[in-house]
């Protein structure tokens, strides 16, 4: 199956969920195994090797295999949230280890690094995501143990050059982890560019329906570091529930058409508003004007994703008014669902946020693109 999956395109892998058919019933969607425990054989072995549900449940198998196939990795572990997945990676480090991460990235994880990470004895440097020289200056051979990338990164959608940074990190002896939540493996496969581990908030595009909290880690290959991550997964216990796993697999079956449509809608919105008299700037890696466009073209295929940010003329007051006047875009956090969302990021992130106060983050859904453009046009008029 693994060899066959290597030849399949992502659309086929996801639609068929690798084509698994249940042995017992021939059902084409998988059964759920809510059992927390598995009967032991008289000789003390376990049928199938499964003992206890915390990491051993068969419901995980298909969803994990689909993600490994999509990312081109060898093993995937599912977590109770994206944060739980990220924290498992940080926990696999030793006190004193040095981590380099982007200055602008998913806010809650950066905050976690700075409080709990520092408390656990880790040290951090934060660099300009799109500036490979900045990464090179801060990755120190023998000292840096992990390089954390997020590309495109929340919420300015800066792009980092995964292969260039991975080369620098590997030469220094560091593990490269990429948060691929926004691009999804449909648009970027970080392992192809040298990443060691790929992380997802599967809450977002992978599930796609704003109704499951989940996370994942996929490794390029087995390693001592990965074994520590697996220990965090199975012993730390932040595993995904079986019902959520089942829903996640169902969500992933439509991933390719959702990402395609969201990317097309985001591009249409970005192009429509790029030179609009009421808009200061559109931040979208698909636009030539975006600082990371050239790298994005190199490492993203099939689109530039469904996330973009709008900086509105008229400052914070106008930005908040605009988001209040939107009817289709719902005022809510999160991203990657079928429905479009709009968010004033600076007020979510608080006073230490690097995000400008006139910025609105859009998670573009799969609605009709013209309806979404009209919604923003109407809101711009009403917010004058
Ligand atoms: N990474 C990115 C890019 C995110 O946007 C998020 C959540 O918004 C996370 C990680 C954390 O994921 P979760 O909310 O599933 O814990």
Q: In what order do the strands lie in the sheet with 307-312?
A: 279-283, 307-312, 359-363, 341-344, 330-331
Give the residue whose CA is nearest to atom 8 of ligand 1. 334
Percent of the chain at pLDDT exceeding 70: 99
The domain limits of the chain are 2-252, 255-382
Ligand 1 centroid, distance to 383 Cα (angstroms): 30
β partners of residue 368: none
Give the residue whose CA is nearest to atom 14 of ligand 1. 82
Q: Is 6 a residue whose pLDDT tops 80?
A: no
Q: Is 97 a residue whose pLDDT tops 60?
A: yes
Is the domain covering 255-382 a CATH 3.90.1150.10 domain?
Answer: yes
Give the residue whose CA is nearest to atom 13 of ligand 1. 82
- Residues 5 and 17: their CA atoms lie apart, in Å, by 10
Q: Which stretches does DSSP call E strand in the chain?
A: 75-79, 98-102, 123-127, 144-150, 175-179, 197-201, 215-219, 279-283, 307-312, 330-331, 341-344, 359-363
Q: Is 114 a residue whose pLDDT tops 90?
A: yes
Q: Is 3 a residue whose pLDDT tops 90?
A: no
Note if 179 is an active site residue.
yes
Closest-lying ligand 1 atom to the alpha carbon of residue 334: 8
Ligand 1 centroid, distance to 182 Cα (angstroms): 9
Quick one: average pLDDT of 308-327?
97
Catalytic position from the list 60, 97, 106, 110? 106
On the 0-12 / 13-18 / 19+ scale of CB atoms within 10 A, 28 is exposed
Ligand 1 centroid, distance to 7 Cα (angstroms): 30
What one-character-per-residue DSSP string does 83-121 give? Answer: HHHHHHHHHTSPTT-EEEEESSS-HHHHHHIIIIIHHTT
Quick one: average pLDDT of 191-202?
98
Closest-lying ligand 1 atom to the alpha carbon of residue 84: 16
Note if 145 is an active site residue.
no
- Residues 357 and 154: their CA atoms lie apart, in Å, by 15
Note if 106 is an active site residue.
yes
pLDDT at position 280 is 98
User: Which of 79, 82, 87, 212 most suits a substitution to test ligand 1, by most atoms within 8 Å of the C-beta?
Assistant: 82
Q: Assess whether the region 2-252 and the region 255-382 belong to the same CATH fold.
A: no
Note if 110 is an active site residue.
no
- Residues 127 and 100: their CA atoms lie apart, in Å, by 7
Q: In the chain, what is the greatest distance between 2 CA atoms, to the nearest angstrom? A: 76
Q: Is 297 a residue whose pLDDT tops 70?
A: yes
Q: Which stretches does DSSP call E strand in 295-358?
A: 307-312, 330-331, 341-344
Quick one: average pLDDT of 301-307?
98
In this structure, the residues whose C-beta lies within 6 A of any atom of ligand 1 are 81-83, 106, 109, 150, 154, 179, 181-182, 201, 203, 213, 215, 334-335
Ligand 1 centroid, distance to 6 Cα (angstroms): 28
Tell me the whole-structure pTM to 2 decimals: 0.97
In the block, tokens 């298909």 appear at 62
Catalytic position from the list 110, 145, 204, 261? 204
pLDDT at position 7 is 81
pLDDT in tens, 208-219: 999 999 999 999
Confidence tier at 2 by pLDDT (50, 70, 90): low
Higher pLDDT, 202 or 384: 202
pLDDT in tens, 16-43: 999 999 999 999 999 999 999 999 999 9
Ligand 1 centroid, distance to 220 Cα (angstroms): 21
Ligand 1 centroid, distance to 382 Cα (angstroms): 32
pLDDT in tens, 42-75: 999 999 999 999 989 999 999 999 999 999 999 9
How many Cα neighbours within 13 Å face the side chain of 259?
27
| Class of the CATH domain delimited by 2-252 | alpha beta
CA neighbor of 184 nearest in space, from 266, 244, 287? 266
Task: Extract long-range pairs of 351-354: CB within 8 Å, 24+ residues apart.
Answer: 353/107, 354/103, 354/104
């Amino acid at each position: 199956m693994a060899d066959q999956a290597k030849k399949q395109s992502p659309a086929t892998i996801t639609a068929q969920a690798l084509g698994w058919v249940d042995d017992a019933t021939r059902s084409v969607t998988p059964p759920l195994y809510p059992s927390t425990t598995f009967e032991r054989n008289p000789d003390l072995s376990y049928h199938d090797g499964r003992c206890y549900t915390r990491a051993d449940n068969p419901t995980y198998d298909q969803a994990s295999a689909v993600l490994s196939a999509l990312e081109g990795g060898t093993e995937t572990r599912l977590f109770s949230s994206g944060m739980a997945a990220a924290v498992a990676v940080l926990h696999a480090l030793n006190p004193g280890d040095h981590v380099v991460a982007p200055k602008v990235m998913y806010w809650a994880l950066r905050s976690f690094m700075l409080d709990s990470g520092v408390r656990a004895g880790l040290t951090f440097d934060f660099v300009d995501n799109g500036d490979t020289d900045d990464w090179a200056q801060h990755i120190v051979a023998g000292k840096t143990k992990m390089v954390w990338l997020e590309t495109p990164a929340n919420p300015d959608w800066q792009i980092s050059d995964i292969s260039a940074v991975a080369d620098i990190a590997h030469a220094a002896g560091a593990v490269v982890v990429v948060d691929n939540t926004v691009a999804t493996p449909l648009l970027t496969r970080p392992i192809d560019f040298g990443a060691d581990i790929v992380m997802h908030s599967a809450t977002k595009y992978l599930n796609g329906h704003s109704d499951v909290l989940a996370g994942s880690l996929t490794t390029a290959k087995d390693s001592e570091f990965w074994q520590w991550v697996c220990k965090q997964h199975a012993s730390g216990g932040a595993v995904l529930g079986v019902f959520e796993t089942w829903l996640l697999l169902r969500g992933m079956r439509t991933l390719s058409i959702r990402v395609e449509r969201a990317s097309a809608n985001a591009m249409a919105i970005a192009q429509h508003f790029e030179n609009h008299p009421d808009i200061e700037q559109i931040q979208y890696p698909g636009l030539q004007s975006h600082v990371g466009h050239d790298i994005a073209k190199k490492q993203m295929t099939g689109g530039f994703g469904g996330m973009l940010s709008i900086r509105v003329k008229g400052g914070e007051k106008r930005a908040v008014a605009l988001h209040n006047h939107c009817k289709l875009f719902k005022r809510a956090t999160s991203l990657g669902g079928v429905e479009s969302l709009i968010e004033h990021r600076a007020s979510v992130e608080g006073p230490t946020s690097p995000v400008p106060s006139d910025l609105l983050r859009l998670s573009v859904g799969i609605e009709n693109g013209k309806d979404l453009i009209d919604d923003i046009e109407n809101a711009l008029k009403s917010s004058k």
